[in-house]
Chains A and B, each alone.
Chain A
Amino acid sequence: MPWAEALITSKAAGQEVAEEGRVLAYVDALHEALTLALELDPKVFVLGQGVNDPRGMFGVTTDLYKKFGEDRVFDTPLSEEGLTGICAGAALNGTRPVYLHNRPDFLLLTFNQLVSHASKFHYIDNGQNNVPMVVWSAIGRGWGSGSQHSQAIQGFLLGVPGLKIIMPSTPYDAKGLMLAAIADNNPVLIFDHRWNMKAKGVVPEGIYHIPIGKGVYRRRGEDLTIVGTSHTLALALEAMEDLDKEGISADVIDLRTLKPLDEEIIFESLKKTGKILIVDTGPAMAGVCAEIGCLVAEKGFHDLRGPVRRIGLPDSPIPAGFTLEQYYFPDKDRIAKVIREMVSGA
């Protein structure tokens, strides 16, 4: 088994779920969300390169086509740009496509249709049309994924009006946000993370929606505010577990949605702690970290009692090799180091 897969599996095996209720793996929560959406609404269809193959997109779509038929769940040509436009055209004509990609890297091929078409129509059609479509992909990391299979591109898309961007970190949110995204009347991007796929959590049965644009506190504390999403937030929580023993406490905010951004929860916490660390799976430069950092400087300056800090990816391409990768990506120890610096004022 590739080491990344082994690591994800071993972590999941050791994970304890404290809450009461039905426990599901992340990937099964997503599978259940798609099943429920397909059952609920005949206008929903699911497509993507590999959705019907035996591995079923990490398990997110496994065997869905057997239950719902290949008219509603189908494998596609690799034509990412064309098919994004096809989804937009189908969405304009009364359907609700859910287009899945193995990696966000492939979305770079779709920007013409995503940025210049799907996200613009509602506005340039003066509200006469809407484009209810979901584009899902899973960020990779590890086992040689390298510069073209590990990119996290949410930051590139933050400035595109009309798009919504979701980045869950728990099975509960993954299901509720997927269902909310499919019900939404706008183009919605969901970036999941491959390393979250086996995480376990309590997931209620049936349909429920998590509101798009609402963050949530994962921990409460006094010394600083940590905001982020997805896998990096999971790393920050691990770091805080270690720092607990050192008497350091933090508000850890899982934004869950990057666009629209829940500014309220960020400023509420910052007012109390006066210090903020922003973590993201994407580049630190000109991305999520940069945007939130700027927002804090602009609107929360007088609450700040120390410099804004960010942990994203360095401004260099992602290496493929194992050793270089260990230096490249943030881990819980690196995050903990920055937190210690922030708390001690160093």
Chain B
Amino acid sequence: MIRYPYNELEFTFSSSPDETYEADFLIGLYRSMLRIRMIQEAIESRYHEDEMKTPIHLVIGQEATSVGVCAALRTTDQVYSSHRTQGNYLAKGGSLKGMMSELYCRLNGCAGSRGGSMHLLDKSVGYAGSSAIVGGSVPIATGAAFGAQYLKKDQINVVFFGDAATEEGAIWESINFAALKSLPVLYICENNFYSVCSSMEVRQPKVDIYKKAGAFGVNSCRIDGTQVLNVYEATREAVKIARSGGGPTFIESVAYRWRGHGGAGDDSASGYRDPEEVKAWQKFCPIDGLYKDLMKKNLFDETRNSSMKKEIQDEIEEAFQHAINSPNPEEKDLSTYVYSD
């Protein structure tokens, strides 16, 4: 049984058909999504080696949300995430080597092997951190927005979280405060219908998530999260509002999680969802969709696609080697940075 059919979803915002983009911009979006996909697949293929001793939460199928949102941001804008970090981190420009070293628990990991896969950060590109507690980053990002407003910094603050985070009280406390103070914050709800193995229907009444946010007086919309331009344009609009002092926007971006909640592979055979549902959503791949579109418009070709893949593959291999050959922390590293001076 397909519990959540793609075709039955209703969206309140979609990209404008009249909008024209430079080819390089579109190819850039494609490359960014493809790169995230290939990195995820590489991690997945080597996860069984047990050398990446950290949980992994793959974002395969949902790449368009990360890429579309981050394409509308500046480097100085701040991004926070939930446990499913990798797409957000990479789309914002986080160092791949830093991430791979973190997954391999190395001293030179982006969080010095103290964060693991669920707490990546790269301050140099405005990827500000994440929380392994569902919803935990939402107040933090709201506070970042408050800090930016207080210090009169031109800084947009974005937080990615899943559908289940909207079952946590503190996110509504945050949205209430953000609306009250007109904070420059974007709430990006990546709705993939499942919290680990629990479907939406056992967790929430049938009220659209974006409508709940709307009830707090914030701008809100639901978009097709398999279409990167939808995500980009919705975010661009939200950013414009926030930069001009118009306050927060809540974007519910719907896209399916092709893999299990954590670890490698799809676990739908375990019975919590129908493997047919996964297959059905795979027809709406954000990367294939954009690729076909680019081909149709003669903006791209197979040769360029192959060389792009080769380039990404080389980068990935280099990052793995970097991580594998990096030193482990030592016992003396354990007790540093408990307190700040």
A77 interface neighbour in B121, B144, B176, Cβ under 8 Å: B176
Q: What residues of A have a CB within 8 angstroms of the CB of B147 in the complex?
A: 89-95
Task: Give the complex CA separation of A210 and B162 in angstroms.
Answer: 45
B residues engaging A (CB < 8 A)?
78, 111-112, 114-115, 119, 121, 123, 128-129, 131, 133, 136, 138-148, 150-151, 153, 155, 169-174, 176-177, 180, 336-341
Say yes or no: is A123 at the interface (Cβ < 8 Å to chain B). yes
A82 interface neighbour in B115, B119, B174, Cβ under 8 Å: B174
Say yes or no: is A161 at the interface (Cβ < 8 Å to chain B). yes
In the complex the two chains form, is A82's CB within 8 Å of B139's CB?
yes
In the complex the two chains form, is B146's CB within 8 Å of A86's CB?
yes
Q: Assess A93 versus B148: contact at CB under 8 Å? Given A86-B143, A125-B111.
A: yes
Q: What residues of B have a CB within 8 angstroms of the CB of A122 in the complex?
A: 337-340
Say yes or no: is A81 at the interface (Cβ < 8 Å to chain B). yes
B143 interface neighbour in A88, A126, A127, A164, Cβ under 8 Å: A88
A89 interface neighbour in B133, B141, B340, Cβ under 8 Å: B141
Central interface residue in A85, A90, A161, by most chain B CB within 10 Å: A85
Q: Assess A117 versus B337: contact at CB under 8 Å? Given A77-B173, A79-B177, A128-B121.
A: no
Query: Smallest CB–CB gap between B332 and chain A, Å?
Result: 14
A residues engaging B (CB < 8 A)?
43, 45, 71, 76-77, 79, 81-95, 112-113, 116-117, 121-132, 161-162, 164, 185-186
In the assembled complex, 21 residue pairs joining A and B whose CB atoms fall closer than 8 Å, in A order, are A82-B171, A82-B172, A82-B173, A83-B177, A86-B142, A86-B146, A88-B140, A90-B147, A90-B150, A93-B78, A117-B140, A122-B337, A123-B114, A124-B111, A124-B114, A124-B115, A125-B129, A128-B123, A129-B123, A129-B129, A186-B339
In the complex the two chains form, is B150's CB within 8 Å of A125's CB?
no
Q: What residues of A have a CB within 8 angstroms of the CB of B173 in the complex?
A: 77, 79, 81-83
Query: Smallest CB–CB gap between A308 and chain B, Å?
Result: 28
Minimum CB distance partner of A78 in chain B:
B173
Q: What residues of B have a CB within 8 angstroms of the CB of A94 in the complex?
A: 147, 151
Q: What residues of B have a CB within 8 angstroms of the CB of A85 in the complex?
A: 136, 138-140, 142-143, 170, 174
Q: Assess A116 versus B139: contact at CB under 8 Å? Given A123-B114, A186-B339.
A: no
Query: Smallest CB–CB gap between A294 and chain B, Å?
Result: 21
Q: What residues of A have a CB within 8 angstroms of the CB of B337 in the complex?
A: 122-123, 125-127
Q: What residues of B have a CB within 8 angstroms of the CB of A131 in the complex?
A: 340
In the complex the two chains form, is B139's CB within 8 Å of A86's CB?
yes
In the complex the two chains form, is B140's CB within 8 Å of A127's CB?
no
Task: Give the complex CA separation of A112 and B78 in angstroms.
Answer: 22
In the complex the two chains form, is B131's CB within 8 Å of A93's CB?
no
Q: What residues of B have a CB within 8 angstroms of the CB of A79 in the complex?
A: 170, 173-174, 176-177
In the complex the two chains form, is A86's CB within 8 Å of B339's CB?
no
In the complex the two chains form, is A91's CB within 8 Å of B143's CB?
yes
Task: Give the complex CA separation of A346 and B277 in angstroms.
Answer: 75
